Structure 1
Amino acid sequence: MEEKWLRKLIRNCFLQYGYDNESLPLNNEEWKQLCAKILAKKTDDGDMDLYEIVHDVIYDYITK
């Protein structure tokens, strides 16, 4: 899966949670970690929709 597209999904999810492009709380390492978590969860649960996985991972990130 292309990382650029996955980053766009993550960014859009943060926008839905009230962040804007300037206030995204991620450094480069955190971007990579979130992408890795999403891909791992997609591999583990292939039946789950990718958008749902992204929202679950971002929600966990924001609330912890």
Structure 2
Amino acid sequence: MEKKLVVKMIKNCFKQYYEADSLPVDEKDLEALVNRILQTKDEEPNADLYEVVNDMVYEFLTG
């Protein structure tokens, strides 16, 4: 799975919660979030990527 796609999906997901150009994560946190999403997707290949990204972003914001 391509990291660029996941990063784009994360950024789009954050737009639901923040202004368009504002990201509440730095590069280090973004990389960790991408890695967690890719790992979850590898562990659960039948999981929908869109749902995994949304769940992880929500968890990041609330956790």
What amino acid does structure 2 have at the position aligned with 1:10? I
Whose RCO is larger (CA < 8 A, sep 6+)? 2
Distance (whole Å) between structure 2 residues aligned to residue 4 and residue 40 of structure 1: 15
Distance (whole Å) between structure 2 residues aligned to residue 51 and residue 22 of structure 1: 21
Structure 2 runs not aligned, ≥5 long = none
Structure 1 runs not aligned, ≥5 long = none
| Aligned-CA RMSD value | 1.1
| Percent of residue pairs bearing the same amino acid type | 40
Distance (whole Å) between structure 1 residues aligned to residue 3 and residue 19 of structure 2: 20
- In the superposition, the TM-score normalised over structure 1's length comes to 0.88
Decide which moves more: 1-10 or 36-45: 1-10
* Structure with greater proportional helix content: 1
Distance (whole Å) between structure 2 residues aligned to residue 41 and residue 8 of structure 1: 17
- In the superposition, the TM-score normalised over structure 2's length comes to 0.89
Report the secondary structure of 1:41's partner residue.
helix
- The structural deviation recorded for 1:44 is 1.0
